[in-house]
Structure 1
Amino acid sequence: MKSLSVLSVTSELFPIIKTGGLADVAGALPFALAQEGVRVVSLLPGYPVVMKALEQIDTIREYPDLFGGAARLVSASAHQMELFVLDAPHLYDRPGSPYLTPDGRDWPDNARRFAALARIAAAIGQGEVAGFIPDIVHAHDWQAGLAPAYLHYSDLPRPGTVMTIHNISFQGIFPADLLYELGLPPDAFTVDGVEYYGQIGFLKAGLRFADRVTTVSPTYAKEIQTPEGGMGLDGLLRSRSKDVFGILNGIDESVWDPSSDKSLAATFTPDTLEGREANKAALQARLGLDADPDTILFGVVSRLSEQKGLDLVLAALPSFLADGAQLALLGAGEGILEDSFRAASIVYPGQVGCVLGYDEELAHLIQGGSDALLVPSRFEPCGLTQLCAMRYGNVPVVSRVGGLADTVIDANEMAIASGVATGFQFSPVNLTGLLDAANRVKMLWSDRDSWRRVQKNGMAAQVGWNRAAKRYAQLYRSCLEVI
């Protein structure tokens, strides 16, 4: 088996910088791919938190003027990962979110910030770094989407390219008059180039020029090729359908391990599920919920948005809580949803507890202490929280879309009898569907022997990266046959 080298281009990387599932994927996949003979070096923007985390920094190349200021490319390591970091203070040395201003708006120069990342990725792909010429440049989401385009419009030999869509609703669309400033030729501004409805589409560019396109679950790969799910890119994706692959995400099982997780009040295994009781008590105490081991405790760990269906949870609360059930929520996002959940915790004291923000330790405690995890997304490329839930004996309740449909086996009568059920699916994705699912959950909760079997089924499910890593390694090798 020929060894391969891959440059992974990403705007976030767990555990250094994270806003969502992209970071988890980009952080876990390199370790899994190492078992397949694939060396991965990740290219990351030099945000303040990134620069602070680096070890063994070596300057590789300096750029006097990279989109408006001096920059340098450094080689470094952090958390046992090989890294290239684009240290460009005029682009990345800012507080808070990688993408948003402190008041929640997109940074006005995001086009330049992430074009710079893609431009340097292309340069590395073409030999910028002595001793590391990657076989593959793997671009993640719109922030890296111009990398395949820069490689396409260059006259130099290029590596193979892969573009991964983590969420097609985020596309990186910018004004057409930036074309020259971004270093793209005039003939790039066509429907067969980077042009997207009269503007420049970063994700569109990646989908157009990458040798292979992947997304994070088989069902989502089908959904994005439909007008309903493609968000304006379905035609392009259908035209490239033979190059589009759905590879199901996994989770890092060393990070998400209930037998050794220091964020838990008590560790546990499938054979010691009673350990979850201490976590439930700790979670109830942490969020001001009534100390009741027998009531069912629903958990939510999510970005608060309409996409995630959290408005449905709000609408369902009166019915959910009527029999004494509880809700523990961790998340941040749309202001109206944050305000509504904050208000719900006041209206239902002892039954609703919420923490608005990001807290990795609390996320682990919710997985280890709640009984059922709600994931009512209207669309979901893959989802990772339901995989974490199964790993922690937390029964997932999911909408039948995207990767949720691919990863959770519904606890219908036959699946329970056959011993394969791992959670609950519901459709349609509306209030009625969610309430019906909640009623099914509560019925199974009343049969603790059956409930425990579903818990153990989930904990036995293969939710790691091994299968996905094999698929990616095969895909990388197939790219080399077409360049």
Structure 2
Amino acid sequence: MTARVLLVTSEAVPLVKTGGLADVITALAQALRQQGVDAAVMMPGYPAAIEHACNLKQAGTLPQLPGGPGIILQGTMPGSDVPVVLLKSERFDRRTANPYVDENGAEFDDNALCFGSLAHAAVSICAGETDVPLPHVVHANDWHAGLIPALLRMRGISDVGTLLTIHNLAFQGNFAMSAATELRIPDAMLTPEQFEFWGKISFLKAGILHADRISTVSRSYANEILTPRFGHGFDGLLNARRDILVAIPNGVDTGAWDPARDPLTVRHFSLNDMRGKSGCKRDLQQLFGLPIDPFAPVLAVGSRITHQKMADVAVEALPQVLEDFPRAQLIVLGRGDHAYEQAFLEMTERFPGRVAVHIGYDERRAHALHAGADMLLHGTRFEPFGLTPLYSMRYGTLPIASRVGGMIDSIVDAGLEGAVPEDASGILFDGEEAQDMVAAISRAFELYARPNEWHLMQRNAMSADFSWSGPAEQYIGVYRDIAPAEARTLFDKRNTAVTLPENEEAAEVAAMPEYMTA
């Protein structure tokens, strides 16, 4: 018998992607399978997912789901052996673009029923009501799957372990109490001690309360969410459950993001032969319609264009940078709030031939951006992990990032002045003011003009190990701890997840030493 894990998520590449969660889920599933765990991904059967999944077959019908009947389809991810389980329903059939919001950016009014039905369907799988193999552990990801641990308890299913991973605590799945009846949540669960959160039902709170383990995606973020500043109202609850909170960092799909083999870049290069990076820079400038200038420092922005990602700060800071450094070029790739998008587009008119903006996302441009740019600006007010800076580091594009969350753990700071530490791999900055960002970018341009130090930082960035092998082993250790007793020997990996100590104040946790459990 093989250890079986069902990873329940709202998105996964290459089926549907709006952010880093999609990359994480598929890469983790692949890494788990490489280490002998039968990991499958379960997600909504959006039309795009059904279109691109391979060898789909019906594996069950679920006529009594909230919001309408559903069909379970089972197949594999394109280009891999990762099994995928899709919930097809009339409501998910209507999700043809962004799976969470409409074309105006407003949340769909049936999100509670859609993702509530996903949770109920996962519980039906655990109850043996479909042909999908019964998992030993359900790994629920973010609020979209947050109801699963509570629903399993309500149905008395105790032979399935549950792990809830919080990828972003700011998104909580809070809905009107009127949805409770159709979601089949009893009145006893609609109290402040249970699912109620500021007068609403909170899917994420349900998961935090009832999961066997809770994890988040970096050590620093695990510390931060225990504080009022980053806890988004859940810091008290998370402190109450800190004995089951673990920190497991994300990894990077080193096959998909490999400068030596990347099929989406025009030239290949590596740590020991960087000549191809100049060709990638030329391609990036051509792709975005900028003058080809091998000596111009190219600053890239590649993320959601939102308040969280400091878009407001960037649109104030970047014109000053472009005026101070008249040879610099700026390339922006992403989408988000319309007002911020327009502010970036207006910059192309103010600085013609020096600023290029593409509103949207595609893999070709994303890979060209990371391979061809010299530095990546990644300001953010909070960041659970920060995949984008890691992608850039793989390609020797140095990150300029906020000193928050996972970026504290993954980027070694060169500092804003003075000598550069020998292990530096980027620049971190504090604060949320334009001058804070300007100072960090200016420091990057200063170092770019000093090739010896710049190339050393590039080597440090490119040689850092961000593979999934270590994180996957840590997840397997957690799965072993929470699996039913008879299945624990199937998870034969040591638990090396970082666990928070019990008797320290949250404000003091950031300075704690490594703490491992065996």
Q: Which category of TM-score, normalised to the shorter sequence, fits these structures?
A: over 0.9
Q: The residue matched to 1:428 in structure 2 has which SS?
A: coil
- Decide whether aligned partners of structure 1 residues 260 and 420 sit closer, same or farther in structure 2, where only a CA change above 3 A counts: same
What's 2:13 paired with?
A: 14
Q: The residue matched to 2:447 in structure 1 has which SS?
A: helix
- Decide whether aligned partners of structure 1 residues 415 and 466 sit closer, same or farther in structure 2, where only a CA change above 3 A counts: farther
Where do 1:47-446 residues align within 5 Å?
47-79=46-78, 80=80, 81-130=82-131, 132-322=133-323, 323=325, 324-412=327-415, 419-446=422-449
Q: Which amino acid aligns with 2:431?
A: P
- Decide whether aligned partners of structure 1 residues 53 and 145 sit closer, same or farther in structure 2, where only a CA change above 3 A counts: same
Q: The residue matched to 1:181 in structure 2 has which SS?
A: helix
Q: Which amino acid aligns with 2:313?
A: L
**Cα root mean square deviation, aligned:** 1.8
Once the two structures are superposed, residues 298-350 of structure 1 have per-residue CA deviations (whole angstroms, 9 ceiling, x without a partner) of: 01110001111122221112221122211111000001100000110111111
Q: Which amino acid aligns with 1:329?
A: V
- CA–CA distance in structure 2, aligned partners of residues 413 and 359 of structure 1: 33
- CA–CA distance in structure 2, aligned partners of residues 111 and 261 of structure 1: 39
- CA–CA distance in structure 2, aligned partners of residues 101 and 65 of structure 1: 27
For structure 2, the 5+ residue unaligned runs are: 487-518
8 Å contact from structure 1 (residues 126, 159) kept in 2: no
What's 2:456 paired with?
A: 453
Q: Which amino acid aligns with 2:156?
A: D
Q: The residue matched to 2:274 in structure 1 has which SS?
A: helix
8 Å contact from structure 1 (residues 95, 102) kept in 2: no
- CA–CA distance in structure 2, aligned partners of residues 480 and 65 of structure 1: 28
- CA–CA distance in structure 2, aligned partners of residues 272 and 258 of structure 1: 11
For structure 1, the 5+ residue unaligned runs are: none
- Decide whether aligned partners of structure 1 residues 43 and 416 sit closer, same or farther in structure 2, where only a CA change above 3 A counts: farther
What's 2:44 paired with?
A: 45
- CA–CA distance in structure 2, aligned partners of residues 284 and 21 of structure 1: 25
- CA–CA distance in structure 2, aligned partners of residues 405 and 156 of structure 1: 39
- CA–CA distance in structure 2, aligned partners of residues 287 and 68 of structure 1: 44
8 Å contact from structure 1 (residues 171, 201) kept in 2: yes
Q: The residue matched to 2:400 in structure 1 has which SS?
A: strand
- Decide whether aligned partners of structure 1 residues 297 and 89 sit closer, same or farther in structure 2, where only a CA change above 3 A counts: same
8 Å contact from structure 1 (residues 416, 454) kept in 2: no
- CA–CA distance in structure 2, aligned partners of residues 60 and 458 of structure 1: 45
Which segment is superposed worse, 114-123 or 124-133?
124-133
8 Å contact from structure 1 (residues 415, 421) kept in 2: no
Are residues 1:26 and 2:29 paired? no
User: How far off is 1:3 after superposition?
Assistant: 4.5
Q: The residue matched to 1:178 in structure 2 has which SS?
A: helix
TM-score (norm 2): 0.90
- CA–CA distance in structure 2, aligned partners of residues 177 and 336 of structure 1: 33
8 Å contact from structure 1 (residues 6, 39) kept in 2: yes
- CA–CA distance in structure 2, aligned partners of residues 64 and 130 of structure 1: 15
User: How far off is 1:246 after superposition?
Assistant: 1.6
- Decide whether aligned partners of structure 1 residues 336 and 482 sit closer, same or farther in structure 2, where only a CA change above 3 A counts: farther
8 Å contact from structure 2 (residues 290, 354) kept in 1: yes
8 Å contact from structure 2 (residues 160, 484) kept in 1: no
- CA–CA distance in structure 2, aligned partners of residues 138 and 415 of structure 1: 45
Q: Which amino acid aligns with 2:348?
A: S
Which segment is superposed worse, 414-423 or 396-405?
414-423
- CA–CA distance in structure 1, aligned partners of residues 395 and 419 of structure 2: 19
Once the two structures are superposed, residues 48-72 of structure 1 have per-residue CA deviations (whole angstroms, 9 ceiling, x without a partner) of: 0011112222212113343343321
- Decide whether aligned partners of structure 1 residues 354 and 131 sit closer, same or farther in structure 2, where only a CA change above 3 A counts: closer
- Decide whether aligned partners of structure 1 residues 58 and 416 sit closer, same or farther in structure 2, where only a CA change above 3 A counts: farther
- CA–CA distance in structure 2, aligned partners of residues 140 and 52 of structure 1: 23
8 Å contact from structure 1 (residues 7, 125) kept in 2: no
Q: Which amino acid aligns with 2:209?
A: R
Which segment is superposed worse, 79-88 or 338-347?
79-88
What's 1:478 paired with?
A: 481
8 Å contact from structure 2 (residues 252, 466) kept in 1: yes
- CA–CA distance in structure 2, aligned partners of residues 320 and 369 of structure 1: 20
- CA–CA distance in structure 2, aligned partners of residues 254 and 52 of structure 1: 24
8 Å contact from structure 1 (residues 6, 38) kept in 2: yes
8 Å contact from structure 2 (residues 318, 438) kept in 1: no
- CA–CA distance in structure 2, aligned partners of residues 415 and 130 of structure 1: 63
Once the two structures are superposed, residues 425-448 of structure 1 have per-residue CA deviations (whole angstroms, 9 ceiling, x without a partner) of: 111232222111112111111111
- CA–CA distance in structure 2, aligned partners of residues 19 and 89 of structure 1: 21
Once the two structures are superposed, residues 114-143 of structure 1 have per-residue CA deviations (whole angstroms, 9 ceiling, x without a partner) of: 000001111212323446111110111111
Q: Which amino acid aligns with 1:345?
A: T
8 Å contact from structure 1 (residues 14, 24) kept in 2: yes
Which segment is superposed worse, 339-348 or 310-319?
310-319
Percent identity over the alignment is 38
Q: Which amino acid aligns with 1:66?
A: L
Q: The residue matched to 1:177 in structure 2 has which SS?
A: helix
Once the two structures are superposed, residues 437-464 of structure 1 have per-residue CA deviations (whole angstroms, 9 ceiling, x without a partner) of: 1121111111112111111111000111
Q: The residue matched to 1:299 in structure 2 has which SS?
A: strand
Once the two structures are superposed, residues 373-422 of structure 1 have per-residue CA deviations (whole angstroms, 9 ceiling, x without a partner) of: 00111110101011001101000111100011111001149997653111
User: How far off is 1:212 after superposition?
Assistant: 0.6
Once the two structures are superposed, residues 195-220 of structure 1 have per-residue CA deviations (whole angstroms, 9 ceiling, x without a partner) of: 11221001111111101111111111
